[in-house]
Amino acid sequence: MGKETVQLDPILLEILNRKVAAAADEMAVTLQRTSRSTYVKEAADYGTGIADLNGNIFGYPARNSVNHINRFCGPSIRAIPDLKPGDVIVTNDPYLSGGLATHLPDLHMIKPFIHAGKIVCYGWCFIHFSDMGGRVPSSISPSNHEIFQEGLRVPPMKLVRKGVLNEDFVKIFTANCRTPDANMGDVQAMLGALHTGSERVADIIERHGVATFVACQKALQDYTAEKTRAVLRRIPEGTYAFWDYMDDDLVTRIPLRFRIAMTVADGKIHIDLSGSDPQVRAAYNVPTLGIAHPWLMMRLISFILTNDSSMALNAGIYRHISVTNPAGTIMNAEFPDAVGIRHAAARRLSDAMTGAILKASPDIMAAPSCGASVPFVVAEQSPEGGKPAVQVIEPLRGGMGAWKGHDGADNRENTMNNMNNHPVETVEADAGVVILSYDIHPDSGGPGRWRGGVGQRITTEVLRDGCTILARGMERLRFSAWGVAGGKPGRPFRAILNEGRTDETELSKIDQLSVKAGDTVTFMMPGAGGFGDPYLRAPESVRTDVERGFVTREATADDYGVVITRDGQVDDKATKKLRSGRVRDNIRADFDFGPEREAWEAVFDDKTMEVLNTGLYSLPKSVRQEKRRWIVSQAVPDLPVAGTRSLAETMADPDAIRARLVKAMAEVFGDERAAN
């Protein structure tokens, strides 16, 4: 054993490891079986766990999404000083629960588990509810800018008092959401899960004794911390800065930057997010409250678990990770910022983390995944009037990033969630659409010695007038998933109305798009980043890709330097000639970000962004976004909407733009800072 020696012998530790994880898993199974929410059934957007007396999770099931391994139950527990046996705490508010909740649709519960009259641990669970009230059905909209628009806020309070349901809470709760019956059904599912957990904990205590059970809570976290550190030691020591962008925040056209500086020393990680852009007047903010919050570390956790699949899942996994994350950045939202779509930001932060780890060593991490996932929804006006019928057509997927030695997975992806799609036959039976095509998106995977995964491509015809298309989460229309170690970026997101017809229109991000009977909408999901020089890809692999349709024959020469004949064979001679005659100056040895990001950073480079953000953070929050918008509009007055005109074209004269930028910053911040 290493320095952080566990208290229990290594046999009992493993037995209790299995048992507490299984107890938490039985909670999950109970919840999953008795919840009717689609979020639970299809998207697995729920969690269960068992927390120690400080509120840190020590028992966690492998079936839960790993985004939540530690939820800080501590602040919510401490908010209820008179907690008694038989009580259950409920909350959904990120700001009032100390970061336990991260947006309002997630309703959390905590129940003290009792042995001999004393609290020995806490059961915890949450479900993403279908509706928590607020401005729009389902409570989430990117254009919300205050949390008050996002639904009913529940501060930590008692849902159950000494075993009796708090009817006052129930009345307020059911009066404030659109689906009260289904919601109360899910509340019962959660209470059932907590009950299961308390029974299993009682079993463990009966079998092994309360002292052992209490000792295992710390011992298991110590064990995991030690195992985690062993993995983190595989990252070479040093400081690695990296950043990535969301195309914009929907309410402006300005790219939104996520900057991470990761310092690694002896298996300890420090993450500095202070270079990230300010919070936005839209629902993309992430409420992490400045703490080492799980939503800041998803990719790191994925890295750890990929490297050690025998890890006991608990809060110990975070012990050697610390964070600097000042208030007011996109990754540390301040009350009352809207947070409904915080996962879009967390996804891009994960890509930035991916880059930081790759910078440390390209051998230990994959290129970024496609970077977007979109629930494609059609809202149909019913012929009799009344509520529109809302139907999710498909959750659209891109591909996974390639890594040293392997292509990335095509048209499936697990970065943020890993949910089932809907059978075409079910969708067409339920909604007034025909899915004309649901297939792969050829050439979208980033070329490389190992190819990035391609995205999906779907074309849907709407059969009735008066329909609205919703597609939140459209991202990477402008900035592609980048290539690594000589690999190329994936193709960006595209959406087209009436493709191939005379009224064909390229779409930018869709908030709500009205369509009429006969219209078709095509989504081309972005591909993931490639890894390694595509000119080193085995010609036979390129041939197979062409044969199966992942790469078109037309693209192989440009993308791979491989010539495929009309009858599908590798033309060895032509390939050799092409590969040896390559122009060397467009090879990016480390990262290939693609032309759009290069054009943007010709002006808005790291240094400039630091000056801009330092200036903005010195301003009061109330004017920050307004000034940011004004400065950028002075510099690039014709900044296009993502997915339309290219930045390379718009920003063809970077010197002029930079001059305007410096002038605008000087005007806002005063001369000294801008001249810096």
Partner 1 sequence: MAKHRCRIGIDVGGTFTDFVLANMATGELTRYKEPSVPADPSKSVERGLPPLMELAGVEPENVELIVHGTTLLVNAIIQRKGAKVALVVSKGHRGILEIGRARLANSYDFTVQKEEPLVKRNLIYETESRTMADGTIIGRPARGELKAVAEQIKAQDIEAVTILLLHSYAHPEMEQLVAADLRKRLGKIPVTESAHIWPERREFERSLIAIMNAYVNPLMTAYLNLLTKRVEGLNIKAPIYITANNGGTLSIDTARDRPIDTILSGPASGVVAATEAAAVTGNKRLITVDMGGTSCDMAVTQGGEPEYTTQTHVGDFPLVLPVVNVSAIGAGGGSIVWVDPQGVLKVGPQSAGADPGPVCYDQGGTQPTVTDCYLLTGFIHPDHFLGGRMHLDRKGANKALEEIAKKIGIKGPDRAVKAAEAALQVTTAIMSTELYKGLAQRGEDPRDFALMAYGGAGPTQGNLLAQEARLTQIIVPPAPSVFCAMGAILADVKRDYVRSNHLKFAEGKQAIKDLATIFRTLEKDAKAWIKTEGKLLGKAEFTATVDMRYAGQAFDLQVIIDDKLRSKPTVEGLSELFHIEHEKIYGFRDLESGVEVTTERVQVTGKIPPITLPKLKRKKGTKAAERRKVFYEGKFRNVPIYHRNELGAGEVIKGPAIIEQSDCTIVIIPKWSAKVDGIGNLLITADGKKTKKKK
List the interface residues with partner 1, window 534-563 (CB under 8 A): 547-549
Residue with tokens 């006991």: 312
- C-beta of 430: minimal distance to partner 1 in Å? 8
300 near partner 1, judged by CB under 8 A: no
Q: CA separation (Å) from 543 to 51, 535, 537? A: 53, 13, 10
**DSSP H or E stretch at residue 75:** helix 74-78
Of the candidates 326, 328, 325, 308, which has an alpha carbon nearest to the alpha carbon of residue 317? 308
> Measuring CA to CA, how many Å separate 292 from each of 191, 297, 315, 332?
29, 8, 11, 11
Binding partner 1 (rule: CB under 8 A), the pick from 81, 117, 266, 310 is 310
> What CA–CA distance (Å, rounded) separates 227 from 17?
14
CA 198: distance to chain centroid?
32
* CA dihedral (161, 162, 165, 168) positive or negative: negative
Segment near partner 1 (CB under 8 A); pick from 2-10, 82-90, 124-132, 236-244: 2-10
Task: For partner 1, give the closer residue by CB, 428 or 465.
Answer: 428
Stretch touching partner 1 by CB under 8 A, among 25-33, 263-271, 615-623, 637-645: 25-33
Would you say 522 and 438 are in contact if contact means Cβ atoms under 8 Å apart?
no
Quote the CA–CA distance of 350 and 294 in Å, as a whole number: 11
Nearest to 313 by CA among 59, 2, 68: 59
d(CA 328, CA 427): 42
Q: Which of residues 479-498 bind partner 1 (CB under 8 A)?
A: none
Q: Is 501 in the site for partner 1 (CB under 8 A)?
A: no
Confirm or reject binding of residue 400 to partner 1 (CB under 8 A).
yes
> Per CB under 8 A, does 19 bind partner 1?
yes
Choose, by CB under 8 A, the member of 409, 477, 564, 664 that binds partner 1.
409
Measured from the CB of residue 320, what is the shortest distance to partner 1 in angstroms? 14
- CB nearer partner 1, residue 249 or residue 545: 545
Residues in region 434-453 near partner 1 by CB under 8 A: 434-440
Interacting residue with partner 1 among 213, 245, 303, 604 (CB under 8 A) = 303
DSSP assignment string, 81-107: TT--TT-EEEE--TTTTTTS-SSTTEE
Residue 306 lies near partner 1 (rule: CB under 8 A): yes
Least Å distance between CB 363 and partner 1? 12
Q: Does 586 help bind partner 1 (rule: CB under 8 A)?
A: no
Residues 52-81 that bind partner 1 (CB under 8 A): 65-66
Binding mask 369-398 for partner 1 (x = CB under 8 A): x-------------------x-----x-x-
Could you give the CA distance from residue 494 to residue 457 in angstroms, rounded to a whole number? 9
Instruction: Output the smallest distance, CB 375 to partner 1, in A.
Output: 12
Work out how close the CB of 112 gets to partner 1 at its nearest, in angstroms, rounded to a whole number: 22
Selected from 324, 420, 618, 644, the binder of partner 1 by CB under 8 A is 420
User: Contact letters (x/-) for partner 1, 225-264, by CB under 8 A?
Assistant: -xx--x----------------------------------
Calpha distance 295→101 (Å, rounded)? 11
* Three-class secondary structure of residue 644 per DSSP: coil
Q: With binding defined as CB under 8 A, does residue 194 bind partner 1?
A: no
In the numeric block, which tokens belong to residue 467? 């329909």
Residue 56 CB, shortest distance to partner 1, in Å, is 19
Q: Is 502 in the site for partner 1 (CB under 8 A)?
A: no
Site string for partner 1, 198-227 (x = CB under 8 A): --x--x---x---------------x--xx
Tokens at 101, concatenated: 């909740």
Closest C-alpha to 345, from 258, 251, 472, 470: 258
Contacting range for partner 1; rule: CB under 8 A; set: 168-176, 403-411, 480-488, 529-537: 403-411
- Give the integer Cα–Cα distance in Å for 464 and 550: 33
Q: Which is nearer to partner 1, 329 or 444 (CB)?
A: 444
CB 405 within 8 A of CB 450: yes
Positive or negative, the CA dihedral 491, 493, 497, 503 is negative
The H-assigned helical ranges of 618-653 are 621-635, 647-650
Min CB(647)–partner 1 separation in Å? 29
Q: Does 414 bind partner 1 (CB under 8 A)?
A: yes
Among the residue ranges 270-278, 361-369, 474-482, 643-651, the one whose residues contact partner 1 (CB under 8 A): 361-369
Residue type, 405: G
Nearer to partner 1, 239 or 417 (CB): 417
